[in-house]
């Protein structure tokens, strides 16, 4: 059974040893895709998981001892980063900044529709391109929702004094 890497046994550690979060299982192929080439020889035949905790520096951990941290990744990991450079869709290259710019100017974002259209057309490869191994669309939708709410809050704050003036 040496080559059967995805089969879990009773002793398998499913939690990240750094933060205790239960990680999402990822394919070895995903780990190979994201780990910098100088660390590739450490990618063993362990069953790997992705730690999605934003504060935790560990990105991938094996069920025995291997750990890979954010500094050992080729790209910025969306789940661990904040700010406009944060990737929200790895397949089509959208960042949080792209969504913010649209939302600030138009109040909405076309990115979720664009991404779901491309997924329907079979042009995504999230399970490998996204470090979390999950489909990008969930994170795209969450980010657009948060940025839209942030814009509404900031508009209310700037409108309040003007409303007070008009009421008098």
Summarize as ranges the residues that interact with Zn ion (CB under 5 A).
Answer: 16, 18-19, 21, 51, 53, 56, 58
Closest approach of Zn ion to the CB of residue 96, in Å = 22
Helix axis angle, 111-120 relative to 96-106, nearest 10°?
A: 130
Closest approach of Zn ion to the CB of residue 93, in Å = 26
Which CB atom, from 14 or from 141, has the smaller least distance to Zn ion?
14
Closest approach of Zn ion to the CB of residue 109, in Å = 30
Which CB atom, from 62 or from 112, has the smaller least distance to Zn ion?
62
Are 92 and 84 spatial neighbours (Cβ–Cβ below 8 Å)?
Answer: no
What's the rounded Cα separation, in Å, for the pair 29 and 12? 20
CB atoms within 10 A of CB 52: 20
Which CB atom, from 19 or from 135, has the smaller least distance to Zn ion?
19
Burial of 43 (0-12, 13-18, 19+ CB in 10 A): middle
Closest approach of Zn ion to the CB of residue 31, in Å = 15
C-alpha atoms less than 13 angstroms from C-alpha of 29 in its C-beta half-sphere: 8
Which CB atom, from 51 or from 137, has the smaller least distance to Zn ion?
51
Closest approach of Zn ion to the CB of residue 15, in Å = 8
Which CB atom, from 14 or from 148, has the smaller least distance to Zn ion?
14
- In degrees, rounded to 5, the angle at the alpha carbon of residue 112 between the alpha carbons of residues 107 and 91 is 130
What's the rounded Cα separation, in Å, for the pair 28 and 136? 19
């Amino acid at each position: 059974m040496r080559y059967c890497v995805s089969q879990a046994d009773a002793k398998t550690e499913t939690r990240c040893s750094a933060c205790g979060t239960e990680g999402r299982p990822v394919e070895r192929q995903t780990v190979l895709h994201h780990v910098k080439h100088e660390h590739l020889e450490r990618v063993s035949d362990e069953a790997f998981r992705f730690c999605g905790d934003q504060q935790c520096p560990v990105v991938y951990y094996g069920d025995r001892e291997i750990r890979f941290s954010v500094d050992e990744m080729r790209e910025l990991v969306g789940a661990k980063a904040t700010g406009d450079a944060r990737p929200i869709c790895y397949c089509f290259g959208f960042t949080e900044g792209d969504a913010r710019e649209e939302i600030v100017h138009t109040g909405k974002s076309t990115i979720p529709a664009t991404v779901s259209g491309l997924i329907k057309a079979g042009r995504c490869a999230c399970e490998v391109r996204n470090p979390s191994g999950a489909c990008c669309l969930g994170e795209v939708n969450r980010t657009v929702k948060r940025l839209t709410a942030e814009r509404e809050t900031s508009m209310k704050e700037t409108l309040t004094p003007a409303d007070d003036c008009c009421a008098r």
